[in-house]
Amino acid sequence: MLARLPRFRRPWLVVAVLIVLALITFEVVRLVTVQLAVDRAAQEAARYAVTGVYDQKYCAPPYNLPCASSDQAVREDAEDQARLYTIKDIALAAAAGILSDSTNDLKNQPNSSRVTVCSSRQGFAYDTVTGQCIPREDAGGPGDKVLVDVGTDYRVGAFLGNGMGPIRLHSSQELIVERYRTVRIQGLPPAISGDGTTDNTAATYSASSTIDPVVIAQTGREQMIVMNGDLQLRVNEVDQTLAQVKTIAAEVGGYVAKSEAGSDGATRSASAELRIPALQFQPVMDRLKGLAAQVIRESSVGEDVTEEYVDLEGRLKGLQATATRTQALLDKAQTVDESLHVNTELGQLQEQIEQITGRMEYLKNRVAYSTINVALNPVAAPSPVEAWLPGATLERAVSFLGSAARFLGDVLIWIVVVGLPLVLLIWIVRRMLRRMRSQKS
């Protein structure tokens, strides 16, 4: 009987279906809009991160980061912190307000939304399981890769009330930081092989090079290469492995420059910075990897300082010759003024000589002892098999039933508030059309 009736005899059903379809369409459009905003936030933040630029407001009150410190290490650390905050500001602006509730306080982001910045700088690694940068967030330096991950919880049906449940949306973008501060050589030069031997055709720098013979004996090559290694490992026992790392460094004649260990309550992690004799660099890297249940990341960076060292050596010889001639002038000085003037110049020369010799000693030490940064993270514990708990299942079912009832109630309210006026409008239009047809007939 109902099937024979014209479709417009049940306008409320048509209106109800149209409203449900409209709500579903609106929800899908809203979901896609949020995902596109998250993608845009990650892309724009990553593009800004590679420039090395930061907002000067973080160097002024109320943040007061020491961006103008005379100490280079303190200044660069403050600049990196300001870059980190500015990158998150860019992500916030690009997200068109979607992350506004989660990034107003950049130092204390809630779990619902987050912006994570992580680099490939030695000692840092992005954990894809937890979505965190270990041991802390870092914007990277010149030549490093920087990853920006933007995530937010999207609640389905939030416009109707509390919604049904969250869906995790996120987007990642990784780029290489521009060389805004220093220039580094990525990878190993051809003269270095895996076993530390030297290719004679590539090892000779120039006929005029006079590299310190002690350096050649310590490194096995004439090129002065500062080697830096980085290992991110997953291990079964963090503290025990950290002790083994220190033992390996001592066995090869190296030492531990820095060591840290701690936990966030449930997960324990550790890191160590090792200074290893250059000839032992690759063997120690292999031994350290042997301690791991899984090697998350491994990298080696070589910086050729031969040219700088030879240049310093030439400048040193020139300054020493000038100092010798100045000393001869001091011996020939006949007046007090002449003596004072020559002695001042001699003091300035001596200061320059000390600076150059100090830099040369620093380079020789860096070449003779390579640096290896090791980060230790625990192996993820297997998820325990949950016992069957009928009571808990019943509780979840009742909770879902309540959520579904609230959702249907919200839909019913929309139908009553929006659908009834539409039904009334359709009924009025139909009556007007019937009257017009009856008058024509």
pLDDT of res. 24: 77
The tens digit of pLDDT for each residue in 22-32 reads 777 877 888 88
**Residue 175 tokens, joined:** 């780029």
Alpha-carbon torsion angle 152, 154, 159, 163, nearest 10: -130
Order the strands of the 166-176 sheet from edge to edge.
113-119, 145-155, 166-176
pLDDT of res. 244: 92
Q: What are the extents of the domains in the chain?
A: 33-176, 185-380
Q: What is the pLDDT along the chain (441 residues), one digit of tens a residue?
A: 344 434 445 566 666 677 777 777 877 888 888 888 888 888 888 888 887 778 888 888 888 888 888 787 788 888 888 889 989 888 888 876 666 443 333 333 444 678 899 988 877 888 877 778 888 888 887 777 889 998 888 777 666 555 566 777 888 888 877 654 433 333 333 333 333 333 332 333 333 344 555 555 544 446 788 888 888 888 888 889 999 999 999 999 999 888 888 877 667 888 888 999 988 899 999 999 898 888 888 888 888 888 888 888 888 888 888 888 888 887 777 777 777 887 888 888 888 888 888 888 888 888 888 999 998 888 866 555 566 777 777 777 777 777 777 777 777 777 777 777 777 777 787 777 787 777 776
pLDDT of res. 386: 60
Question: Which distant-in-sequence residues (6+ apart) come within 8 Å of 94 by Cβ?
Answer: 37, 40, 41, 43, 44, 45
pLDDT of res. 29: 82
Sign of the torsion angle spanned by Cα atoms 434, 438, 440, 441: positive
Q: What are phi and psi of 269, to 5 degrees?
A: -140, 165
Sign of the torsion angle spanned by Cα atoms 271, 276, 280, 282: positive
Q: How far apart are CA 207 and CA 215, in angstroms?
A: 17
